Every structure is written in C-alpha cells, then in structure tokens.
Amino acid sequence: MATSPFKEAKRGLRRTSGAFLHSAVHAPPTWLGTRFASALCYVEMLLIDYGIVRMVYNNRHRVGPDTWRSAQPAPHHIAWAGRRGVRTVINLRGEQSYGTRWLEQQACARQGIKLVDLTLKSRAAPTRAEFAAMKDVLGKVEYPILVHCKSGADRAGLMSVMISHLHDGLPIRKALNQLSLRYGHVRSADTGVLDAVFHRYLADEARTGIAFWDWVETVYDPREMNSTFKARGWANRLVNNILHRE
C-alpha cells in the first residue's frame, strides 16, 4: 500500500524531532538535559505524536478483573495505573516518538511498574510468531496489567482478545467483542483484517470443532488472510486522515 506524502512528511518530522530530543536529553550542555528534557518531550508527545488528543480522551477501558487497555498513556495516566495496583505496562507500538517513549519510561520507573515491549501491527494479520509472542508475554508478566498502542483501538484490541481468551478464559466468539467500534476500531478499514482472522477461525471451529491454538499452529495462514481481505476506501480515509491512526 502506497504511503501518502503527508504521512511521509510526518514521519520525517518525527525522526528529526526525535533526533533533536535525543541530543537535548543526553548530550551537553548538561543544563539542557536536566532543566528542559521533560518539557521538550512533552512538546513532542503532544504535537508530533498527537498526544493532545489523548489528553482529552485516553480510550481507557477495563478488559477483565486485573487488566486494562488504553491509548498511549501520558505520565498522569501511568500514575493512575500505579494507584490501581498495575504492575506491568505492555507497549504494543512499533515506531514510537522519542519524547513519548522517554516520558513513559520515566513515569513507569517512578511508579515501580515494569514496561514491556511487544510490537504488533494493526493493518496485517498477525503471524504465527506474533500470536506465540502474545501468548508468551501474557503468561509471564505480573498482573494487574495495562496494554496500550497509540490509539487504543486496534493493536490494543487484538491483545485484549488474547487477554480475554487466555487469561480470562472466554471463548474467541465472546473475546472478539474487544475489537469493536466502541473502542474506535473500524472493521471496514485495513484494520479490519484483525477481525477477519478471528472470523475465519470461528468458521473453521463451527465446521470442525478445532481449538484456537491448534488452529493457529496447524491451519492458520496469515499470508492468505492478508491477500484476501479487502478494505473500503472511505474507511481508510477516516482512519488514516481523520483519526491519524498508525
């Protein structure tokens, strides 16, 4: 899928601002790193990473008794999680702005929360290795947990399906409610390939009774899912140009 000039320009600005912030925080003069590091990172998080939108609405929801999902948290969101006993934050983002990342690391350290990275994609069917990584992480982390991506809609929804199924014991049919317009997930856009994966499983389950993980390991073909899923143009314009989802 071709990348728009606007998105390329935005990524270039993010790389430039990230390099500047990295120098400001870590390189001489020392006073710049100590006095202005946090302020510079806040500016980058709010303006380059669209954090100003998440300040108004963080798309935070409870998944289960000891799990939450949200958009990219700001430091005060991490403090909220700490007050509720969250022990682990799982970051599902790939490319992440430097300022946002630095602020999240600092906030987690202040709250005594472990920050775990697990990179997922919102516009491609998860590979078998990615499914295995989700299962592995959810089996090892200390609960309660908060999982997040950028907007809290797609990658967080995918991970929340896995939480509901693996950790809370819900069947996939019920766990699939975590991928919903309620959370900002648009099934008609490229992000709908995530729904298509689970609906394909449900069709095979109804026919053969196969368990989900047996299906992932023996039947599932992510390349075929990617090649057969068709998004709608209006939905992609909504997600990419208006909601600024990545």
Planar angle of CA 161, 162, 164, nearest 5 degrees = 65
Q: Decide if 68 contacts 147 (C-beta within 8 A).
A: yes
Q: How far apart are CA 222 and CA 210, in angstroms?
A: 18
Into how many domains does the chain fold? 1
Structure tokens at 157: 């929804």
Domain with residue 167: its CATH number is 3.90.190.10
pLDDT in tens, the chain (246 residues): 455 665 666 566 656 655 665 555 555 445 445 567 788 888 888 888 888 889 989 999 999 999 999 999 999 999 999 999 999 999 999 767 778 998 999 999 999 999 999 999 999 999 999 999 999 999 999 999 999 999 999 999 999 999 999 999 999 999 999 999 999 999 888 999 999 999 999 999 999 999 999 999 999 999 999 999 997 766 567 666 655 455
Structural domain of 65: 7-238
246 within domain boundaries: no
Nearest by Cα to 72 from 101, 111, 43: 101
